[in-house]
């Protein structure tokens, strides 16, 4: 069965997402699948395609490394919180070097990690990504830690509190 926009749009269950993932794995074109569906004007298609990609192993996802900047852009510019969360999840699973540091993306992560109106999943992943990027520069890490310490933690959900506490305790890699 071919993977079409309609099929991806209707992938509501874990079983259907796994079936699409297996087809993508069989053809070995994770980057092509991402390129074809993640920029869809239909946010349900983009969301389900990204959700399907989260099923992939880290070695399979390494095919998306050339799309790192596109995934960052997608997270920053989408109106869909689900697409934002899933694209950030994929960015988190990719390699990131000092050369990949983008100040616009760092600013985005710093803003969304502290935005109490944002979903906890987006806040947590944004915090993890900001931490990773700040590790390249000690002066940024100091500022990042001060930001975490200044957060009024009572406003945040347990997932966000947990990530914050792990970072401050030095238990985050």
Cα 31–Cα 33–Cα 36 angle in degrees, nearest 5: 105
Among 95, 112, 133, the domain-final residue is: 95
Query: In this structure, are 78 and 111 located in the same domain?
Result: no
CB neighbour burial string for 95-122, b if at least 16 within 10 angstroms, e if fewer: ebeeebbbeebbebbbebbbeeebbbbb
Query: In this structure, are 81 and 110 located in the same domain?
Result: no
Distance CA 159, CA 99 (A): 29
105, 68 in Cβ contact below 8 A?
A: no
Query: In this structure, are 105 and 120 located in the same domain?
Result: yes
Query: In this structure, are 142 and 71 located in the same domain?
Result: no
Distance CA 122, CA 33 (A): 23
* Domain span including residue 124: 99-173
Query: In this structure, are 61 and 24 located in the same domain?
Result: yes
Each residue of 109-126: pLDDT tens digit?
A: 999 999 999 999 999 999
- pTM for the complete prediction? 0.94
Distance CA 10, CA 28 (A): 22
The shares of helix, strand and coil residues in the chain, as percent rounded to the nearest 5, are 75, 0, 25
Query: In this structure, are 3 and 21 located in the same domain?
Result: yes
Query: In this structure, are 134 and 77 located in the same domain?
Result: no
Domain count, the chain: 2
Q: What is the pLDDT of residue 87?
A: 98
Query: In this structure, are 80 and 104 located in the same domain?
Result: no
State the CB neighbour count (10 A cutoff) for residue 155.
10
DSSP string, 10-33: T--SHHHHHHHHHHHHHHT-HHHH
Query: In this structure, are 136 and 77 located in the same domain?
Result: no
> What share of the chain in percent tops pLDDT 70?
99
Among 48, 63, 95, the domain-final residue is: 95
Distance CA 135, CA 68 (A): 18
Query: In this structure, are 89 and 103 located in the same domain?
Result: no
Has residue 18 got a pLDDT over 90?
yes
Q: What is the largest CA-CA distance in the chain?
A: 52
Q: Is 96 helix (H, G, I), strand (E, B) or coil?
A: coil
Please report, for residues 15, 56, 158, the alpha-carbon distance to residue 28 in angstroms, rounded to integers and kept in the order given.
20, 11, 37
Among 48, 78, 95, the domain-final residue is: 95
Has residue 172 got a pLDDT over 90?
no
Query: In this structure, are 81 and 105 located in the same domain?
Result: no
Query: In this structure, are 139 and 87 located in the same domain?
Result: no
Q: What is the pLDDT of residue 12?
A: 85
């Amino acid at each position: 069965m071919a993977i079409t926009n309609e099929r991806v749009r209707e992938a509501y269950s874990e079983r259907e997402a796994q079936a699409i993932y297996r087809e993508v794995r069989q053809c070995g074109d994770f980057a092509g699948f991402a390129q074809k569906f993640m920029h869809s004007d239909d946010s349900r298609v983009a969301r389900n395609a990204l959700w399907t990609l989260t099923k992939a192993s880290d070695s399979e996802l390494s095919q998306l490394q050339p799309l790192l900047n596109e995934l960052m852009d997608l997270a920053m510019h989408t109106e869909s919180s689900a697409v934002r969360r899933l694209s950030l999840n994929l960015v988190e699973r990719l390699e990131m070097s000092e050369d990949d540091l983008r100040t616009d993306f760092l600013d985005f992560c710093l803003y969304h990690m502290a935005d109490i109106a944002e979903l906890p999943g987006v806040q947590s992943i944004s915090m993890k990504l900001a931490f990773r990027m700040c590790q390249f520069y000690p002066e940024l890490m100091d500022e990042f830690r001060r930001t975490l310490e200044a957060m009024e933690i009572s406003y945040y959900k347990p997932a966000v509190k947990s990530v914050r506490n792990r970072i401050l305790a030095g238990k985050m890699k």
